[in-house]
Amino acid sequence: MELLEKGAAQLGIALSGAQLDQFQVYYRELTDWNQRANLTAITGFEDVQVKHFLDSLTVCLAAGGLLAGLEARVIDVGSGAGLPGMALKLAFPGIRLTLVESVAKKTAFLERLTAILGLEGVSVLTGRSEALGREDGLRDAFDLVVVRGVARLPLLLEYCLPFCKPGGRLVALKHGGDGQELDAAANALLELGGRIDKVVTVALEGLTDDRVLISVAKTGPTPDRYPRRVGIPAKRPL
């Protein structure tokens, strides 16, 4: 895990030998389960270290001090193979993590990984964010919401911002050239109770896909009418 260790150090994260061992187990389980659960197209040892694990840890550049805080509540929406949430949990073990994924085969992997690594303070939920975002204990409840996906920003905001508590933050991992997405998200931000806090361009050795982090501050509770029922946000983005 030399590439991960070196890159994490550039982010100001010192990973211990025990933590690197956990990432090694993560890689082994990821590539094993990928044969039956279609978790990722990236499976090479070096590529996973950089394009999955290290990429996930860049969230720290936009999260302020939230990850370092003891028992900060963090939710990863559309977690897939556990990225970025599980990588953040291994690097910042004090956080309380919730992983949300709609595909049962993927949540089975996340539950298996949590058990093998002996992690505490991790919850895995199978379901759609449009439904889970209305549940007591999940809505307006998290200090930090993270999302690493390909959907456009207005859609991601409706899926994710209802989970964030007022005063908290959402960090979306996106690719460069998304200036038009920021403009398109203006109405969604107004409707959902958020504002763009900052946009961080990631310049890290090995990451060559123009990664940017969009940080959204939650300015107030999300109105009760959001998120809309399953399927509607994708058909009629805000």
pLDDT tens digits along 7-39: 999 999 999 999 999 999 999 999 999 988 889
The confidence score (pLDDT) of residue 29 equals: 96
Does the structure show a pLDDT above 80 at 75? yes
The confidence score (pLDDT) of residue 178 equals: 55
Give CA–CA dist 130/197, Å, rounded: 24
Does the structure show a pLDDT above 90 at 129? yes
| Section 204-213 average pLDDT | 82
The confidence score (pLDDT) of residue 210 equals: 81
Q: How confident is the model at residue 68 (pLDDT cuts 50, 70, 90)?
A: confident
The confidence score (pLDDT) of residue 36 equals: 86
| Section 90-103 average pLDDT | 96
Does the structure show a pLDDT above 90 at 149? no
Q: Which fold has domain 2-235?
A: Rossmann fold (3.40.50)
